[in-house]
Amino acid sequence: MKIIVTGCKGQLGTEIIKQLREGRSEIGPIPEKLMNATVIPVDLPELDISNYKMVDDFIRRQRPDVIINCAAYTNVDGCEVNHDAAFKANALGPRNLAQAAEKTGARLVHVSTDYVFSGRENGGIAQDEATIPGPISAYGSTKLMGEKYVEQFCHRHFIVRTAWLYSYYGKNFVKTIVNAGRKFGKLEVVNDQCGNPTNAVDLAHELLQLCVTHEYGLYHCTGEGICSWYDFASEIIRLSGVDASVAPCTSEEYKAKHPESADRPKWSALDNRMLRCTVGNDVRDWKEALACFFAHWDGENGMKTN
């Protein structure tokens, strides 16, 4: 089997390639069909997914069985001021990959986000795949457009929404909190935005389980359990052993101090219903996955220890 992984230098792309290389994740083995797969990792500048001709030529030449799209413009605040760049990466890129996949018969796994939801009305219930989206930011809007393009142009698709992603690689909230705790000793984190912290190990594991099936459609894949950013940060500090305190604040208080920041949903908790009802939901509880992260992460260089 031949697999193209776009955005291979990012958190998720790096983890997927690692699991394909090692044949397993912390959760368990990858599917037998993926053992000894030919993996083609690509990123900028080799492949600009927003360039239709470049994508079309590359996919026609490689003729993969599976394309896993991890490429995106994920800077939520940056999307508010760089609308065209966000649209190219988050909407046009998936469209181009979807059209190329359809032409060559490849399966397309496209990663999306909880920020496609408004988070204004929730009733305390995690949102499953039947919940109607309503993004309130440029990031969420462009990611939703990408979903629509994938659904429209590629029949063999898996659209997988995730949230609050962190990993051993690259920049993420966990590392930011650890570093800020060491530097300042006192942190203030919003306590009225709730969602699901997700370890990239779990997401990569589920994507690889999905991509060898014909269970096409829309999925949610996040860590089990719901918390606020404040809860998440508090657990990060506790597990890291950093000598720092974490105090809660409201979204309004944060916005007053950072007026340039994008609006974020106050309730974006997702329910992995589709996974449970198809291939099975192996995603760990968010606290368990975070503890495992700290058990294996070398905070000095950010690499996973053996």
Helix, coil or strand: residue 62: helix
CA 72 to the chain's CA centroid: 9
Q: Is 139 a catalytic residue?
A: yes
Check: CB of residue 95 under 8 Å from CB of residue 154.
no
Residue 296: how many CB atoms within 10 A of its CB? 14
**Domain housing 99:** 2-165+198-224+267-283
Q: Is residue 174 part of a domain?
A: no
Please tell me the distance from the alpha carbon of residue 42 to that of residue 299, in angstroms, as a whole number. Answer: 27
Check: CB of residue 233 under 8 Å from CB of residue 187.
yes
Q: Is residue 207 part of a domain?
A: yes
**In this predicted structure, what is the pLDDT of residue 300?**
58
Check: CB of residue 272 under 8 Å from CB of residue 203.
no
Q: Is residue 39 part of a domain?
A: yes
**In this predicted structure, what is the pLDDT of residue 1?**
95
Give the single-character DSSP code of 227: E
Name the packing angle between helices 229-240 and 286-296 (round to 10°). Answer: 30
**In this predicted structure, what is the pLDDT of residue 147?**
98
Check: CB of residue 181 under 8 Å from CB of residue 240.
yes
Q: Is residue 68 part of a domain?
A: yes
Q: Is residue 125 part of a domain?
A: yes
CATH of the domain at 75: 3.40.50.720
**In this predicted structure, what is the pLDDT of residue 263?**
87
- Selecting among 73, 115, 139, 230, the annotated active-site residue is 139
Find, among 167, 305, 285, 293, the residue nearest to 238 by Cα.
293
**In this predicted structure, what is the pLDDT of residue 119?**
87
Q: Is residue 256 part of a domain?
A: no
Please tell me the distance from the alpha carbon of residue 18 to that of residue 201, in angstroms, as a whole number. Answer: 10
**In this predicted structure, what is the pLDDT of residue 260?**
87
Q: Tell me the mean pLDDT per 10 residues along the chain, length 306.
A: 97 97 96 96 97 98 98 95 97 98 98 94 83 95 98 98 96 96 96 96 98 98 97 98 96 90 91 97 98 89 53
Please tell me the distance from the alpha carbon of residue 90 to that of residue 210, in angstroms, as a whole number. Answer: 22
Q: Is residue 253 part of a domain?
A: no
Q: Kindly provide the b/e burial profile for residues 63-78, where b requires at least 16 CB atoms within 10 angstroms of the residue's own CB.
A: ebbbbbbbbbbbebee
Check: CB of residue 76 under 8 Å from CB of residue 68.
no
Residue with tokens 């413009």: 73
Please tell me the distance from the alpha carbon of residue 277 to that of residue 123, in angstroms, as a whole number. Answer: 23
Q: Is residue 22 part of a domain?
A: yes
Find, among 14, 15, 31, 11, the residue nearest to 23 by Cα.
31
Angle formed at CA 291 by CA 263 and CA 194, multiple of 5 degrees = 20
How many domains does the chain contain in total? 1
Residue with tokens 């496209």: 110
